[in-house]
Structure 1
Amino acid sequence: MDKFICVNVICTIVLISLITVPNRVHGIGVCYGRDGDNLPSPSDVVALYGSNGISNMRIYSPAQDALQALSASGSNIQLIVGVPNDNVQSIASDPSAATSWVQSNIVAFPGVAFSYVAVGNELIPENPGLAQFVLPAMQNIQNAINAAGLQSRIRVSTAVSAAVLSQSFPPSQGAFGPDSMRAIVQFLASNGAPLLFNVYPYFSYRDNSAQISLDYALFQSSGVVVQDGQFGYQNLFDAMVDAAYAALEKVGGSNVRIVVSESGWPSAGGFAASIDNARTYNQNLIRHVGQGTPRRSGNAIETYIFAMFNENQKGGDETERNFGLFRPDRQPVYPISFN
């Protein structure tokens, strides 16, 4: 082949790669909850992710059948795997327990594309009895990851909800409530790990509908609703994420990025829970997160929608059983595009 043509072909391939990588990097994930007695097999679930172009998955415990299905599929689905809340204390107290956990659930599955280990879900500040063990458990898991030589591939974090913020309005005044968050943020910063943040405009709207408009919660406002200094907010999602960014900055975490580890809207079961609202929120979320937030404009947000399925054994309000994008028979609750 002519050298000039060859160079041009290579340049074209590089250019295409540069264009397509950002969409792949920020990715849209979906949380694979398993609180149901009628859910598809893990291999069918992995196939459903693939057929819908869903590139990222979060699981809340290292379920061996799910890890085996991911490994066998060759799908390269990027995975957040959770250390379950009831394992956090033992792992915090015993470094060998952390080593065993990493060996059994990560090292044993070289065919799985692990991206993060989430040490606990919403323990800070919701569960004071276990919250004190989150950081030492993170440290022990990190040491075990390091010992396995996987520290360049897998980051260790914890998932928190908006309850971790003592102040969130306006977003620039965002601040963490628990003192323990300062040390956790320092751990994240020193290890190049993100904060996993569960973001639910639905609950904020449900509990404050007199102050928050539905359009603002659903990404449908036509103009700025909240002006906060130089930043204007047209949707509640951005305001919530930027409140967390402001809180990070206040405790030395300016370089810590946020991964939205859960976000979604129920399609039935309670106030403002409808198929139309759920479809609108989740489709607009997918379209929006590539833009970043006003405080981090242009920085795509890796985001995980909750959840893949309606889960009939999930506790709490009826809405909790109706966050799924799909029914257990793998039919969509409503049409949605992940592109």
Structure 2
Amino acid sequence: MKKKVAVIVGVLLLVVALFLVLKPSSFEKKADKTMQKLTSYKLEGNMEISSGEEFKNYAITSSWMKEGEDEYFKVSMIDKSLNQEQIILKNKEGVFVVTPSLNQVFKFQGEWPMNSPKPYLLQTMMEVLKNDHQTKKEKDGILISAEAKYPSAAQLVRQEIKFNKDTKPLYLIAYDANNAPALTMEFTAVSYNEGFEAGYFDTPKSSIETPTSSYTGLIELPLYPMTVFDSKLVASTVSSVNGQPQHILEFSGDRDFTVVQTERAPSQELTVTEVNGDLIEGLGLVGYYDGNRLTITNSQVEYSVYSNDLTPQEMMQVVESMQVSVMK
């Protein structure tokens, strides 16, 4: 009899222990309530990306609003070294990538931004709380540690997210396999449920005002990628299409690919191009993938990577690894 009682007590203790382990913390409950009541947010901050000895810095503004069943997103990324902006919009008309420096808009169809995690979106950070993670209470907030899952940045394996006690994010740091911080997103201003002025999420209909830029020259082409997946450069040529030079780099090895680089001048009038391909995001870069080609415009240079061997994410890594530009 005593043995049975001991077994029953042991089982009950195990059930209680499991309940305590699996029971959501008070912070998780509070975060869930925050998301349920949320109708809009605006996050502003700075994102630093390190790749080897190279650092890239971006000013980020992420905005979201919900009206009924409709969700609106707007993400502004400004390259601090060039003071050039790229904007991604989602509204009732579709998904748009806006490049003010070129007076250019690309229109997409798709599920952006919820098709993959983004370190600058509140939804991504809150989703981490629903999966395996560790929670640590600190004086000024809550520190969350979890696995990093960013399809466009496979080198990121672990992340830490810190929230204040009002469930507002303070920073996100993602680490590589060597436990070195490879991405830091520090939030400088966060607002919930304050709304936006009319037209904030509208698609541009006329010429776009560009930020004042100290970048006045063109990049000395071609640039060479550092990430080549054990392939070797076998040819470097220049061709001309409609009088525009195109620099062509051909790589061969276990995985073959070709990189084409073309300078792009700003258009005098706003141009809107509808794209059939998929929108692909990297760390600070946005492009589109169509069949076996990934196209990205950055710093007034259009990069096209052609390959039947590389995935879209690997093509993005090739462009992200281009050597530091040399200004004319």
Superposition TM-score tier, normalisation by shorter sequence: under 0.3
The structure with more strand, counted as a fraction of residues: 2
Question: With CA pairs under 8 Å and 6+ residues apart, which has the higher RCO, 1 or 2?
Answer: 1
TM-score of the aligned structures, taking structure 1 as reference length: 0.22
TM-score of the aligned structures, taking structure 2 as reference length: 0.22
